Amino acid sequence: MKNNEARAALLFLAPAIIILSLFFFLPVIAGFALSVTDFDLYTLGDVHNLRFVALRNYRELFANPVFWTAFGNTMYFALAGGPLTVAVSLFAALLVNAKLTRWKALFRTIYFAPVVTTLVAVAVVFKYLYHPRFGIINIALGALHLPQPDWLGDPHFAMPAIILLAVWKGFGYTMIIFIAGLQNIPEELYEAARLDGAGAWGQFRHVTLPMLGPTFLFVGVVVAIGQLQIFAEPYVMTQGGPLNKTLTIVMMMYQQGFKFWRMGYAAAVAFILFLVIGAATLLQMRLGEKR
Amino acid sequence: MTRRGQSMVLHAVLIAGGLLTLFPLLWMLSASFMSNGESTTFPPHLVPHAATLAQYRALFLRLNIGRAFLSSTIVAATVTVCSVLFGSMAGYAFAKLRFRGREKSFGFLLTAIIVPPQVGMLPLFLLMKTLHLVNTYWGVIIPSMVTVFGIFLIRQFMLSVPQELLEAARIDGAGEFRIYWSVVMPLARPILATLATFMFMSTWNDFMWPLIILSNQSHHTLPVALANLLGEHVLDVELMMSGSVVTVLPVLIVFLILQRYYIAGLMVGSVKG
């Protein structure tokens, strides 16, 4: 009987094991191997041109100021975009979940809608909304007599513009998680706080925030991990410009690997992304334990 | 402030936030029905003064976007069916069949979740090239046919299926495949719907891997076709908006119909950490 079950299990697992090993685990391991070779256009033509170069790709990368620009931009995007997304989504969750709120399901669906939209398509839409002269955003700012920056063309505003798009696109996701967290807070805690004379702010400060606290950090790191992989927004909206101000790690990997075919060098970029995300994940797990 | 006043302020903020959230999507829809140049006039038109289907006509008749729509549909549908089938088979085995090293191998599988997909993309491309799968639908489909997330999702659900049910079927002489297909799968319908919704939407929206593996226009999926179109038609705002509508609308509709299942999957994903 047991033997029979084990044989069945192997058959049930076979498609998953074969596909994951061949098309996921093998490429990931090969990726590390690739990063210590000089795989380039010539190797693509004739594999005999492949040489082991040890850590040369990494040395070159660390000496390349463009890499540090991409690294810094990616960090900027994740460290500004992550917390901002969390803040907006917490605010939205509090409003949608408030006792007085009617049509809760409707508002939840509306705020969540951007999450399911196609990133490339909404990046195209925002590219036009950000147009310095014809874009609705600058027309609205002009009507209010506020400055009208050249959002995607100005080195100081390009990344903030992309961050705004990311917040718009992503806050619904974390909002849903926060709503679930809020619904898990026992009503008695609020009652006790009210008996102690706490107002709305006091209840938020002394009940909601401490009860949400761990979820709060956890969610922030989850968002940041997703944001470290940013690619489509700059690809569609800015091509990494102006002045490389929106060039990101993944975009650099794409350009080096699939535009210039410097695949060994690009693999080193990918490995660094892996390390950064691994570090963020460890942090997330630490926070998860506390939860 | 009175309760009534509070309620009014609250709903005013909620409605303002809702309009702000929907604005980009509504503007996209509105501009897609405008004639050339109307969306960039000053003062701006928020709704078309004479709605026209000219942009959609150009998109489908002249620019052949129907082809990309078909590609996206083929890829997303195949990935959905395969990932639900293979994911449910593996999830069932990990939850309900007893074999040696089950927990260890499942634990190993879960480590895959922390690896960003970009790490494998360069060798994956070389592998696909060796297999002559560059510029084919299979090149896009195969790497997504099984996801660790899907296996995890189904396993968590199947753990709650009572063991007695399976034992009873075994005593009745049902084979292992029959038990999976006619006893367990019907029970798992809600979670299968969740995974299917999830996979359809994420595959439809996927950009980077299709961009890499499909260099030939004839196989482009919608997001890749749209990014390509932007290169040649960046000044044709209204045309680009109709392309965006064609890309976004199918997933929005799927979401509105199946959002119950989608959000259930999201919650499982968020508590796994």
pLDDT confidence of residue A1? 53
pTM score of the predicted model? 0.93
The ranges of chain B with pLDDT < 50 are: 271-273
CATH of B56-271, one of 3.30.360.10, 1.20.120.1200, 3.50.50.60, 1.10.3720.10: 1.10.3720.10
| Cα dist from A6 to A10, A14, B45, B86, B102, whole Å | 6, 12, 67, 17, 10
Chain A, residues 201-260, CB within 8 A of chain B, namely: 218-219, 222, 228-229, 231-232, 235-236, 250, 253-254, 257-258
- Residue A155: per-residue pLDDT: 95
Alpha-helical runs (H) found in A228-290: 232-237, 249-254, 263-290
Domains of chain A: 65-290 (1.10.3720.10)
Q: Tell me the pLDDT of chain A (291 aa) as tens digits.
A: 567 888 999 999 999 999 999 999 999 999 999 999 999 988 888 888 889 999 999 999 999 999 999 999 999 999 999 989 999 999 999 999 998 999 999 999 999 999 999 999 999 999 999 999 989 999 999 999 999 999 999 999 999 999 999 999 999 999 999 998 898 889 899 989 989 888 888 888 889 988 887 677 778 778 888 899 999 999 999 999 899 999 999 999 999 999 999 999 999 999 999 999 989 888 777 766 655
The pLDDT tens digits of the residues spanning B45-77 come to 889 999 999 999 999 999 999 999 999 999 999
- B121, B144, B166, B246: best to mutate for the A interface, most A CBs within 10 A: B121
* Chain B hits for A113, Cβ within 8 Å: 21-22, 25, 252, 255
Task: Please indicate if any CB of chain B lies within 8 Å of the CB of A9.
Answer: yes
Structure tokens at B240: 């680009």
CA B148 to each of CA A96, A191, B20, B112, B144: distance values in angstroms, whole numbers, following the listed order: 33, 43, 36, 7, 10
Query: A288 near A222, Cβ under 8 Å?
Result: no
Provide CB contacts within 8 A for A26, sequence distance 6+.
B123, B127
Q: State residue B131's pLDDT score.
A: 97
Paired tokens of B267 = 């919650």
Q: What is the pLDDT of residue A197?
A: 87
Residues of B in contact with A270 (CB under 8 A): 118-119, 121-122
Distance in angstroms (rounded) separating the CA atoms of residues A129 and B73: 29
Domain boundaries, chain B: 56-271
Residue A163 Cα, gap to closest chain B Cα (Å): 15
**pLDDT in the model for residue B273:** 34
Q: Cα(first)–Cα(last) distance of chain A, in Å?
A: 42
Complex ipTM value: 0.93
